[in-house]
Amino acid sequence: MAALRLERIGARVLAPLDLSVEAGALVFVSGPSGSGKSLLLRAVADLDPHAGEVWLGAEARSAMPAHCWRRRVGLLPAESHWWADTVCSHFPASADPAELDALLAGLGFAPDVRGWSVARLSTGERQRLALARLLAQSPEALLLDEATANLDPANRERVERVVERYRTARGAAVLWVSHDPEQRERLGGRQLGIRDAQIQVGGQLRAIGDRSGQPWRVPIRRASGAGVLAVIAMRGDESMATVSAYDRSFMRNGVAYPAILDPRTGWPATAALAATVLQRDAASAQATATALFVAGPESWVETARTLGLRYALLIDTQGRVRLSPELRARIELVDTQATLVPSEPLGTDPADPAKP
């Protein structure tokens, strides 16, 4: 078997990473939810666009057809996929029956499991059989994404023993994403923690750490979504959410209405075009940005103070950018034609100046 070597691997949210996993070695990957652990494995498996190069021994991923690479560097995703009706249809025809029976037994299955219908499998059974399916391909390196997350203690131990036997017997390099600190301590190996990432889902964005020593620079878009209003340097672990009338809307009698309702009236909120908020977590940022959007220009400052916000802006229906001076001090204005209307300070937390 061969070592697995990552050279400046960077995916959508990950800062470039160098890592070497020697043949027969185990490296655990941990980090906050959404920090890009699964994206790292998918980049190594060449399933997503990414920067950098991956080597298996002296062979570069870029010099090999994708299907050949994925057979040699096997990925076990957090959620397995099944494309045929029976379990046996998912195993290679070349697999030695005795070896396959031994592998299945190690995972708690009798030989007749191969005749089972996939539809009858529980989540845990699918997870264990997906590992068996992967190992039956004899990969030279393993990429395991939460391989035991949905298993009871007995089956978790079975999976750990099977992976350990395979790793030591085959000399396979193993890169294992795990949220379980006890598992990481129990199995040993090196540990890699992902601290620097930028995650974006819809109008929510979360910045973790920095990008090679520099802060993440994130655009705040115009209300229409076309073009950039300003750029902000995100700090440490911080989230930003933008709610816009143009993101989700519906038509009624030829008029477009935002899909966000004003609970005071039951009708669409139409007093603003967009609201942007910085918070510690994405869910809070999304909720408070929605509240400011509903509040509109007449009461957004009062609402922001009630919610304990410091960094917030609201774009009214005239296109004017109403923003807190705390946020104004952090942004670099890109749209120099924008009309800024600073509010009074929203307030600070003397115990934590960076706390929203």
Helix/strand number for the chain, H first, E second = 8, 21
Q: Which residues contact 226 (CB under 8 A, 6 or more apart)?
A: none
Residue 298: give the domain boundaries: 197-342
- Domain identity same for 326 and 230: yes
- Domain identity same for 323 and 259: yes
> Which of the listed residues 167, 193, 219 is the one where a domain comes to its end?
193
- Domain identity same for 178 and 225: no
Dump pLDDT digits (tens) for 60-87.
Answer: 999 999 999 999 999 999 888 999 999 9
| Interval 294-316 mean pLDDT | 95
Strand partners, 75: 143
Dist. CA 265–CA 258, nearest whole Å:
14
Q: Does the pLDDT value for residue 16 go beyond 90?
A: no
Across the chain, mean pLDDT equals 87
**Banded model confidence at residue 198, pLDDT cuts 50, 70, 90:** low
Strand partners, 191: 28
- Domain identity same for 212 and 249: yes
CATH number at residue 204: 3.10.520.10
CATH number at residue 32: 3.40.50.300
Strand order in the sheet with 4-10: 17-21, 4-10, 51-56, 59-60
Q: Does the pLDDT value for residue 282 go beyond 90?
A: no
| Interval 255-265 mean pLDDT | 82
- Domain identity same for 208 and 175: no
Q: What are phi and psi for residue 136, nearest 5 degrees? A: -65, -20
- Domain identity same for 11 and 122: yes
Q: Does the pLDDT value for residue 352 go beyond 50?
A: no
**Banded model confidence at residue 208, pLDDT cuts 50, 70, 90:** low
Q: Which of 65-69, 246-250, 270-274, 348-352 has the lowest mean pLDDT?
A: 348-352
In a domain, 264, yes or no: yes
- Domain identity same for 144 and 75: yes
In a domain, 312, yes or no: yes
- Domain identity same for 99 and 216: no
Count of other CB atoms within 10 angstroms of residue 22: 15
In a domain, 180, yes or no: yes
- Domain identity same for 163 and 55: yes
In a domain, 347, yes or no: no
Q: Which of 91-100, 157-166, 251-260, 305-314 has the lowest mean pLDDT?
A: 251-260
Q: What are phi and psi for residue 261, nearest 5 degrees? A: -95, 145
Please tell me the predicted confidence (pLDDT) of residue 355: 46
Dist. CA 313–CA 45, nearest whole Å:
41
What's the total number of domains in the chain? 2
